[in-house]
Chains A and B, each alone.
Chain A
Amino acid sequence: MKSNTMILHTAALLIMPLQLMFSIFLLFRGHDEPGGGFIGGLVASGAFVLYAFAFGAEATRRLLRVGPRDLLAAGLLMGLASTLPAFFSGQPMLTAHWWDLPLPGEAYLKLSTPLIFDIGVYLAVLGTIMTFVVGLMESEE
């Protein structure tokens, strides 16, 4: 399935990058403000679904570069990877670890295992929905 309207093509090309940026914004601010990996992942899938509607499943696959199921696997691995720092320091599983990276100009980047975990959730959600959508669209062709 692929749409041939120019409006959708143009709109998709303009909106999609914004949506992806917004999804990453949501992901990173999630710990303090509404947002987070789950919501971010949903927004990002929205972006790719829009693209898929405009240009078809094949083009979306090319854009993603990796298969949707690989995204899913990467998400699960990230989730598991976030348990490793606690594992190697002999703490109970999923004990959070925090690292503050100083940035130029008084700012700090808050890096943490919950963030890694949240990125895993983001990727898992994105991978799941893209598996559904790409699979459904391809089964039509």
Chain B
Amino acid sequence: MLLAVLSGFLLAIAAPFLHRVAGKYIGWVLALLPASLAVYFSTFLSQVQDGPVLLEYQWLPGLDISLNFLVDGLSLTFALLISGIGTFILIYAGSYLAGHKYLARFYVIMLSFMASMLGLVLSDNLITLFVFWELTSITSYMLIGFNHEDLDARKCALQGLFVTVAGGLALMAGLIMLAIMTGSYSLAEILASSEPLHQHVFYTGAVLCILAGTFTKSAQVPFHFWLPNAMAAPTPVSAFLHSATMVKAGVYLMARLNPSLGEGELWSLMLMGFGAATMFTGAWLAFGSTGIKKILAYSTVMALGTLTMLIGVGTELAMTAFICFLVAHSLYKGALFMLAGALDHETGTKDITLMGGLRKSMPATATIAAFAALSLAGLPPLFGFIAKELMLEALIDAPVWSGVLLFVTVASAMLIVGVAGLVAIKPFFGAKGDTPKTPHEAPFGMLIGPAVLTIIALVFGLLPFIPENALLTAAVASVYGSPVDFYLALWHGINAPLMLSAASLVVGLLLFKAWPRIQPTLYAINYAGGRVGPEAGYFKFMEWITVVASWQTRMLQNGVLGIYMLVMVAVTFGLAGYTMLDQYGVHFTLNLADSHFYEWGIALLLVASAAFASGTHSRLGSVASMGVLGFGVALTFILFSAPDLGITQLLVETLTVILLVLVLFKLPEFVNLSTPFQRYRDLAVAIFGGVVITLMILAVLDIQYFESISSYYVENSAPLAYGRNIVNVILVDFRALDTLGEIFVLALAALGVFSMLKLKAEDQHKP
């Protein structure tokens, strides 16, 4: 399983080389991976019927971070959708982006994105889940901004990144609170615990933070604006992002945590409220757009709202509807997006007002689009119909707000029927449109994906017991928290949901008929709304950040190094000194009897060089005396038998002096700019720092709160780590994780210095 999740990253590394070998068949070659992953995941189908499977690997047990994978109905549904749709997306992209100069790069990011998504839905550990969550944000940022020469694409990508990463921060806080409440970072344990979380003090905070994360990721109102803008991505990306991945990540997490958090009223009311608002907003905006990708993007917003709302309703029926709608939506949205890309590719425009009568030149595309749109509109015999009927039934039975939710849902359904008409009827029927390119049928690689997905939706609709027995029962059980009895059927007899469906169909078709006339009005309304809407708020907020940043730079970063040092020393030693006096008081016992004369010599040398360094008027003199100081410290290390520290200190001192000498050349003549007052103030702070650190060292010598761990290292260094040099063994073995962190810090520092030097060099080159 670990290999299955990571294989995407491994293949991403190999993709550029494969691209050189496989040439234009690269899409087909790479698609073998998700295809085989899908087969691998389906071997779990029978196991998850009996409950969740946990595959354990305690990776960082000391930090509660594991690479455990939790396979149950829900995560398996997602894993199959991701790998299954991923297969067709990769094939499709090979065709859609054929000959693109960055095709290899595209596959590198795409495969990493897919792998992150798989990791996200399969992780059992909250920390690992969060890391994968952020990886999807970063990789999708690179995918959305893939056409990086386009300013607009870069802007949209950055917007998506800001919104999702801001939410990600909140999510991290929420997950940590969740872990504190339940005492575990493992999802399996959290879900199994029977404690009523909604009475916990942290419940409200955790729910709000987690929802901030999932709402931004899943484009709920008022964060929905980033999703349609993410259309700047190449179509294969949009198709993948919208159907099975990225935006579904938020929905996944809400569904995943629903059994634990769903008992609280806050949770269900927030999900129902925001979900319903998102659903209607999405449907409304979709119907008012003219770009085919925009229309589909807003219909995704509608779907995400619906899913969120269904989790909020939380009944058995609602959960069944949730799972069915999730699967149905992934199937038709993946197909429709790929078809929209095909239309764009073959006609040269995204604007549906320019398209018409394409069924003659693109018969296969037209046929598949018709079926996929039936699923979108929720019409028989496709799986979308089953999902929609279940949803209406669940809302009729909803415990609270039933009437309101039903009203909003039916209104959205009417709009969505109209939208389905826009994507499936408008481009293909009627008078021949005036498109920039002469249209002809899309290539096979671009049609196979939508065709297969639509056929699956058709089969699932006609024979619903196949998905039900294979997976959906288990999936519903894991979302609801306990097994649920249900059976799916296309025909439930003439009942209330069917009547509502019929009504929405009729009104939807009327809306579609009226679309050419009312669209300009809708567009004007939406345009006016957009100027005061959440996206305008986003831009205001970004401006405000810049203003605050420049204000605080002016206030805090005045560029005088002396002030920086003063503030740092005063604050650090002020706080440390206060804590020490407050907690421990002043302790010291000085025993100078066993000191040697050479120790006094070194001490004298240290004091003398420090005094000289602060008094001298020559830069070189102060550098050199600081060097003497450093060498004195090194001598002390050696005297007290710490040769490693001594050698390191010597070398560091040498290199520091060299670096200082390099910098020294650039500095202007030494002039004394400070007033006497400033100099006495600096002196006072310096003496204060020195006194505090001296007292602290004396206190450390005197009091011991914990037993020293050095004896453990001394005893175990040779038997456990096969090394006699304890310092080195600690660095590379016992505490290697710290060292690993340190070399990364080192690297960051080096890159910081490098970019500062580079920046300065470029400034000078400017005329």
- Whether A associates with B in a native complex is yes
A92 to B648, Cβ gap below 8 A?
no
Point out the residues of chain B lying under 8 angstroms from A45, CB to CB. Answer: 655
Query: Is A92 a contact of B725 with CB atoms below 8 Å?
Result: no
Shortest CB-to-CB span from B131 to chain A, Å, is 14
A120 to B651, CA, bound (A): 19
> Is B736's CB within 8 Å of the partner chain A?
yes
Cβ-defined contact, B651 with A34, below 8 A: no
Give A139 to B729 CA distance when docked, in angstroms: 39
Report the bound CA distance from A4 to B298 in whole Å: 70
Given contacts A45-B655, A121-B732, contact A33 B753 (CB under 8 A): no
Contact with A along B722-742 (1 / 0, CB 8 A): 111101110111001101100
- Pair B743/A120 contact, Cβ less than 8 Å: yes
> Which of chain B's residues have a CB closer than 8 A to the CB of A76?
743-744, 747
Contacts of A83 in B (CB 8 A): 740
Partner of B749, one of A39, A46, A128, A133: A128
Interface size class of B (residues with CB under 8 A): 35 or more
In the complex the two chains form, is A139's CB within 8 Å of B655's CB? Answer: no
Which residues does chain B contribute within 8 Å of A35, judged by CB atoms? 644, 647, 725, 728
- In the complex, the answer to whether A117 meets B666 with C-beta atoms within 8 Å is no
Chain B residues whose C-beta falls within 8 Å of the C-beta of A49 in the assembled complex: 655, 658
CB distance from B759 to the nearest CB of A (A): 10
Least CB separation from B66: chain A residue: A92
Contact indicator A114/B721 (Cβ below 8 Å): yes
Q: Is the CB of A136 within 8 A of B648?
A: no
B754 proximity list for chain A (CB < 8 A): 69, 131, 135
Given A39-B648, A42-B648: A33 in contact with B724 (beta carbons within 8 A): yes
Task: Across the interface, name the chain A residue whose C-beta is closest to B758.
Answer: A135
B52-60, B199-207, B231-239 - interface stretch: B52-60
Given contacts A72-B750, A93-B737, A124-B746, contact A139 B761 (CB under 8 A): yes
Q: Of A31, A36, A79, A125, which is within 8 A of B740 by CB? A: A79
| Interface mask (A101-141 → B, CB under 8 Å = 1, otherwise 0) | 00000000010101101101100110111011101111110
Assuming the A-B contacts A34-B725, A93-B59, A93-B737, are A43 and B747 also in contact, with contact meaning beta carbons closer than 8 angstroms in the complex?
A: no
Chain A residues in 8 Å Cβ range of B644: 34-36, 39
Select which of B58, B663, B736, B750 is within 8 A of A94 by beta carbon.
Answer: B736
Secondary structure class of chain A's binding surface, majority of residues: helix
Q: How far is the CA of A135 from the CA of B655 in the complex (A)?
A: 15
A30 within 8 A of partner (CB) = yes
Chain B hits for A127, CB < 8 A: 747, 750
Q: Which residues of B contact A32 (CB under 8 A)?
A: 723-725
Q: In angstroms, how far is the closest chain A Cβ from the Cβ of B640?
A: 14
A110 to B724, CA, bound (A): 14
A52, chain B: closest CB distance, angstroms:
9
Residue of B nearest to A87 (CB): B59
Least CB distance from B215 to A in Å reads: 33
Compute how far the CA of A69 lies from the CA of B749 in the bound complex, rounded to whole angstroms: 12
Closest to A26 in B: B647
Per the bound structure, the CA–CA distance linking A131 and B760 in Å amounts to: 15
Q: Which residues of A contact B58 (CB under 8 A)?
A: 92
A30-B728, A35-B728, A72-B747 known; A92-B757 Cβ under 8 A: no
Q: Which residues of B contact A92 (CB under 8 A)?
A: 58-62
Whole-angstrom CA separation of A137 from B754 in the bound complex? 12
**Known contacts A124-B746, A132-B750; A30/B761 CB under 8 A:** no
Judged by a CB distance under 8 angstroms, whether B32 is at the interface is no
In the complex, residue of chain B having the shortest beta-carbon distance to the beta carbon of A119? B732
* Across-interface contacts of A114 in B (CB, < 8 A): 721, 723, 729, 732-733, 736
CA A135 to CA B728, docked complex, whole Å? 30
Residue among A45, A110, A129, A133 with most chain B CB within 10 A: A129
3 nearest A-B residue pairs (beta carbon): A42-B651, A31-B723, A34-B643
Pairs A–B under 8 Å by Cβ, sample size 11? A31-B724, A46-B655, A72-B750, A76-B743, A93-B60, A94-B733, A98-B722, A131-B751, A133-B659, A138-B757, A140-B666
Taking A94-B737, A98-B722, A140-B665 as known contacts, 16 extra A-B pairs with beta carbons closer than 8 A to each other, sorted by chain A number, are A31-B728, A34-B727, A35-B644, A42-B655, A43-B651, A46-B655, A80-B740, A92-B58, A92-B62, A114-B733, A117-B736, A124-B746, A132-B753, A133-B659, A137-B662, A138-B761
Question: Hey, which bits of chain B sit against chain A, CB under 8 A?
Answer: 57-62, 643-644, 647-648, 651-652, 654-655, 658-659, 662-663, 665-666, 721-725, 727-729, 731-733, 736-737, 739-740, 743-744, 746-747, 749-751, 753-754, 757-758, 760-761
